[in-house]
Amino acid sequence: MKLRVSAVQYHLHTISSFEEFAAQCEHYIKTAEEFGAEFVLFPEFFTTQLLSIGDGTGKALTINDLPSFTEQYRELFASLAKKTGMHIIGGTHVVERGGKLYNTAHLFYPDGRIEEQAKLHITPTEVHEWNMEKGDSFRIFDTEKGKIAILTCYDIEFPEIVRMAKAKGADVIFCPSCTDDRHGFHRVRYTSHARAIENQVYVVLTGTVGALPTVDFMRLNFGQAVVITPNDIPFPPKGLMVEGEINDDMIVTADLDLELLYEVRERGSVTTWRDRRTDLYVDWEKTESEG
């Protein structure tokens, strides 16, 4: 089984209306459609671009205003998924639940379904500056091309959650990200490589590029899209199937061969998933089956 994925290096810049945002998103979707993509990944916090619209009096909007765009955002991406027949991981959007803010990834199915995965691990900035709440549940999503997981940015830095994803059957981890400097970018990038090697899965990662001068904590961005593979002979030596140009406005596209994952798990140079010492530490497969 193969699936074609595109990852968007979304260019953040000041806009004046939701229609501008919609036109930019549709441009990326149409480009991915022309490439024959079946899955498209947008970055974390890319909808903060909507805050640059302002309140009409010259004042910038704040993170607390972002949930007011939720209905428009969901309608836009649901219609694009149905129109193109693609699965769209619509980055993350801030939603309000019970008076609390959640940084939430959205999966838009071609048949109109919309699923959500709130970010599980919250950075200090999200907690102290934006008053975000942690997601309280983790799930795997079934698609016609197999099982996938969506883990947002900081989530990928925690090995336990990706162990759980693999134990639940996920072969592809989609990771929408947003980092503002090289340190944050490389933390996410290096740990994504580690998770791909440890669990013998694909990781599709992308981030925001560009700048939002009027939006606090989104003024600068440092990002790059990449498709990461296990490091074994059927795959590229550096575990990189494709990567974009850092901080450029672009899309990258690659074909993921799931059969190669199954092959290296059984007969690879190393068999990291099979060789886990579950006599010494947690066997997530057993834990998940019992749960």
Active-site residues, by number, are 44, 119, 153
Helix (H, G, I), strand (E, B) or coil at 168: coil
- Which residues are CB-contacts of 172 (< 8 A; sequence separation ≥ 6)? 3, 5, 146, 148, 149, 201, 202, 203, 204, 256
Structure tokens that stand for 196 in this block: 């791909």
Count of CB atoms situated within 10 Å of the CB of 70:
16
Q: How far apart are the C-alpha atoms of 174 and 88, rounded to whole Å?
A: 11
Count of CB atoms situated within 10 Å of the CB of 204:
28
Q: CA 227, 230, 231, 233 torsion: positive or negative? A: negative
H/E segment holding residue 81: helix 70-84
Q: How far apart are the C-alpha atoms of 233 and 38, rounded to whole Å?
A: 26
Structure tokens that stand for 111 in this block: 């048949």
Side chain identity at residue 228, one-letter code: I
Q: Is 68 exposed, middle or buried (0-12, 13-18, 19+ CB in 10 A)?
A: exposed
Q: How far apart are the C-alpha atoms of 36 and 245, rounded to whole Å?
A: 21
**Inter-helix orientation angle 70-84/18-34, to 10°:** 20
